[in-house]
Amino acid sequence: MSPAAIAVPVKANQTTKVPTGQLSGAFLDLAPIDYGLEAEKEGKDGVAPAKYPHYLPTWPNVKWAPLEPFHHCDPGLDTDPSYPELLATGVKSLDLTPSIGTEIQGIQLSKLTPAGKDQLSRFVAERKVVVFRDQDLADLPIGDAVNFVRYFGRPHLHPLSGAPKGHPEVHLVHKAAGDKTAEQFFKTKISSVLWHTDVSYERQPPGTTFLMMLDGPSSGGDTLYVNTAEAYNRLSEGFKERLHGLKALHSGFDQASAHLRKGGIIRREPIMSEHPVVRTHPVTGEKSLYVNPQFTRSIVGYKQEESDALLKFLYDHIAYGSDFQMRARWEEKTVVVWDNRVTLHSALLDWKAGARRHLARIAAQAEAPFETPYVG
């Protein structure tokens, strides 16, 4: 099942071959929540059936070509910042923290007009994470849910994870009933927190992202989010200026290597990409830190010790920033929408052993990360 070697980019338009056995196994230690290769055991040992069986993962053994570049125009540009449809009369809006996170009640995402979707895109960019309860997206045909997200950008096709049959645009976050991941993980680790932004190794990583709860434990399995624009703002002017112009290498190879070791299938060969350490949002103009410990490997042009020291500082700054973080609590029919360009997040592996946790993510790819000049 596993190829003997994977092509590793060295410079633009150049690759080299590295045996998969020599790829770093670090991701095995970093990733407490993998892509759920275990199958459900419905009807056995009193296990209740999945509430959304058509959303259970499949792993077709197919090969995909590299993702092609495309022009992305964010729908949040030039929309009405008063949000007349998204925050219409009767809609309740509650900020979960001052800097990040809002819960909106009284609106059905699937019923938004194009103008309402434009407003949603901008509102999510402003508030970073928006929580919606009592949504019907999961009850629609899967293709309709995918097409809803397509409005915000090209749906990302994950190269590794399971997807519902016939719908590779849906990335499934799935732990089967009876799963023993936590039991095994905490034999060697003390925390499951792993801050990341999704698939940042892609040339055009996701922007507006939708994650919907299908089935989950009565408590636990929350998701942490951090505002990386505010993390940037907290830095001194001198430090901000020094970060501008730096690029970091983001790699999908450790993730692919760990997946192969667990018996998974790679549908698209992993890549590495260089992205600016400070990224500019095309809608808000905000600058944010764009590094994460899951996929960022080094600062381009720095020696290893220099790179490690700078990245550790940035990771610690982000992780300890409780005053610009939030926690999203999951319940049935919850949909959380966030902007991967200005946030990091981490799932929590803290729910009762053996409970099923089943969510579906559809992520709209955005523009290639870019930087605008530092202005003190």
In the chain, what is the greatest distance between 2 CA atoms, to the nearest angstrom?
63
**C-alpha dist (Å) from residue 15 to 7, 8, 22, 236, 241:** 6, 5, 16, 39, 33
pLDDT recorded at residue 28: 41
- Of residues 355 and 4, more confidence is placed in 355
Is the confidence at residue 155, as pLDDT, over 90?
Answer: yes
pLDDT reading at 100 higher than 90: yes
Task: Report yes or no: 275 and 218 within 8 Å, Cβ to Cβ.
Answer: no
The answer to whether residue 9 scores a pLDDT higher than 70 is no
Q: How confident is the model at residue 48 (pLDDT cuts 50, 70, 90)?
A: confident
pLDDT confidence of residue 42: 60
Distance CA 182, CA 192 (A): 9
Partners of 206 in beta bridges: 365
pLDDT score for 214: 97
pLDDT attached to residue 163: 95
Assess whether pLDDT exceeds 50 at residue 124.
Answer: yes
Alpha carbon distance 41, 47 (integer Å): 7
Q: Stretch 49-54: mean pLDDT, rounded?
A: 94
14 or 122, higher pLDDT: 122
Distances (CA, A) of 223 to 145, 219, 227, 326: 22, 12, 13, 9
Domains of the chain from N-terminus onward: 49-365 (3.60.130.10)
How sure is the predictor about 1, in pLDDT bands with cuts at 50, 70 and 90?
very low
Contact 33, 181 (CB under 8 A): yes
Q: Work out the average pLDDT over 87-116.
A: 98
What are the phi and psi torsion angles at 373 (to 5°)? Answer: -60, 150
- The confidence score (pLDDT) of residue 34 equals 57
Q: What is the mean pLDDT of residues 259-263?
A: 85
How far is Cα 77 from Cα 243, in angstroms, rounded to an integer?
27
pLDDT at residue 186 in the model: 86
* Mean of per-residue pLDDT scores for the chain: 89
